[in-house]
A and B are shown apart, each in its own frame.
Chain A
Amino acid sequence: MLTAPTLAQIESIVHGRIRAVLAERAGEVARLSGTDKLSATLGLSSLDLAFLVAELEAELGVDPFAKLVSITSVRSVGDLVRAYQQALFPELQRSGEDDAMATAVNRAQTRRARRKGR
């Protein structure tokens, strides 16, 4: 792609590639959901996933699994979409980390408050 794709375009490209793989064996494929499990729901093998990663690297110019993300952490269509969105928009990764940190801090503060209240 000559210009950077938007988040929605990344989702559409990833969905399109998944549908193409599924269509190879089952013909027309219904709409995908982010919660669809790549293996359990869609029946994709690890080799299918490797093929998808190769196709997406050629189309999007990035491979999130080279360094950023472990492929074993990708279970759903949404996980795969997010991996590419975060690879192309690193600030999403950082904001995700910030959110996780904020959640952890909140949880710790709540625990401390509960202990004081006892």
Chain B
Amino acid sequence: MPQARKVALVSGGSRGLGAELVSGFLDRHYRVATLSRTKTTFITNTLRARKDRHFHWGAVDGRDHEALRAFVKEVGARLGRIDVLVNNVGIAMEGILPTMRTRDIVEAVEVNLTAALVLAQACSRFMLRQGSGCIVNISSVHAIRGHAGVAVYSATKAALDGLTRSLARELGPRQIRVNSVAPGYFDSDMVRDMAEEQKRRIARRTPLGRLARIDEVANAVHFLASEQASFITGQTLVVDGGITC
């Protein structure tokens, strides 16, 4: 009997890195579930292309904890298991802390950190029962190096790395691996809004002399989710062209 396809849940899979990850997991013969606030063209097209049971999308706001838990339960009931969770959903909160609105700080923490905690908790229930699983948290180079104007974003991403290390210790005995991928600058919303000169400056400071392609970041996630990374847990894989080295 052929082995059942594995199931990957990617939060924030409607565009950018999340959409790249969704496509990558589908190409690797996973069944994929993703959540986002709105249905993008990517989601519509993927749903149309995958009329089978291999792709599932839910309209969920990352700040709604009950909706996140309900979505995980729905995915578990529908697809039977959850093998991989990628905590990708996040918002770029720019601005220096002294002048930032409290509600923006709270929103960044809710979406970038609390949503990841809630999803990891809910998915780990399935993984505990299976005796296997893999969680990948999308962190950032801003968790590793300080930069002006991203204090709140940095704090949430550094917290994700802390979560990675402790959760790896908590869940390791049940063969559940937890890792982070910390991307440098790649084609994301944060980079798209940058001035061309700023992008050139980043490229000059990067040993590999350029910004990352989105697939180069996704590949690191796919590696950590794969059997090739079967003895790697509690680690942060930095994918930044060497800018933090």
B163 → chain A closest CB, angstroms: 16
Contact B173 A54 (CB under 8 A): no
Q: In the complex, what residue of chain B is closest to A66 when comparing beta carbons? A: B69
Give the residues in chain B near A47, CB-CB below 8 Å: 128, 170-171, 173-174
Instruction: Kindly state whether residue A58 has any CB partner on chain B within 8 Å.
Output: yes
Which of A75-117 touch B at CB < 8 Å?
A: none
Determine whether B129 belongs to the interface, using a CB cutoff of 8 Å to chain A. Answer: yes
- Give 1 or 0 for each of A36-78: 1 = CB within 8 Å of chain B CB: 0000000001010011011101100000000000000000000
CB within 8 Å of A: which B108-138 residues: 124-126, 128-129
CB closest residue in chain A, given B131: A51
A114 to chain B minimum Cβ distance, whole angstroms, is: 50
A54 CB to nearest B CB, Å: 4
Please determine whether B129 and A58 come into contact, CB atoms closer than 8 angstroms.
yes
**Is the Cβ of B170 less than 8 Å from the Cβ of A51?**
no
What interface size band does chain A fall in?
A: under 10
Chain A residues, CB < 8 A from B128: 47, 50-51, 54
Assess the B171–A51 pair: CB atoms within 8 A.
Answer: no
Q: Which residue of B lies closest to A51 (CB)?
A: B128
- Mostly, the B contact residues are helix
CB distance from B177 to the nearest CB of A (A): 15
Interface residues as binary, B144-174 with A (CB distance below 8 Å gives 1, 0 otherwise) = 0000000000000000000000000011011
In this complex, the member of A45, A51, A55 whose beta carbon has the largest number of chain B beta carbons within 10 angstroms is A51
- Chain B residues whose CB sits within 8 angstroms of the CB of A58 once the complex forms: 129
**Most central of B126, B128, B170 by chain A CB within 10 Å:** B128
Q: Which residues of A contact B124 (CB under 8 A)?
A: 50
Distance in Å from the Cβ of B160 to the closest Cβ of chain A? Answer: 21
Complex Cα distance, B127 from A51, in Å, reads 9
Chain B nearest CB from A26 CB (Å) reads 16
Give complex CA distance A53, B124 in Å.
11
Task: List which A1-59 residues lie within 8 A (CB) of chain B.
Answer: 45, 47, 50-51, 53-55, 57-58
- Are B125 and A54 neighbours in the complex by a CB distance under 8 Å? yes
Q: Are A54 and B129 in contact (CB under 8 A)?
A: yes
Cα separation A45 to B171 with both chains bound (whole Å): 12
Task: Provide the B32-65 mask, 1 if CB < 8 A to any CB of A, else 0.
Answer: 0000000000000000000000000000000000
When distances are taken between beta carbons in the complex, the residues of chain A under 8 Å from B174 are 47, 51
A45 to B125, alpha carbons, bound, how many Å? 16
- Name the B residues within 8 Å of A57 (CB-CB): 125
Give Cα A54–Cα B123 distance, bound, in whole angstroms.
10
List of 4 A-B pairs having minimum Cβ-Cβ separation, nearest first: A54-B125, A54-B128, A51-B128, A54-B129
Which B residues lie at the A interface, using CB under 8 A? Answer: 124-126, 128-129, 170-171, 173-174
Q: What would 20 A/B residue contacts be, using CB atoms closer than 8 Å? A: A45-B173, A47-B128, A47-B170, A47-B171, A47-B173, A47-B174, A50-B124, A50-B125, A50-B128, A51-B128, A51-B129, A51-B174, A53-B125, A54-B125, A54-B126, A54-B128, A54-B129, A55-B129, A57-B125, A58-B129
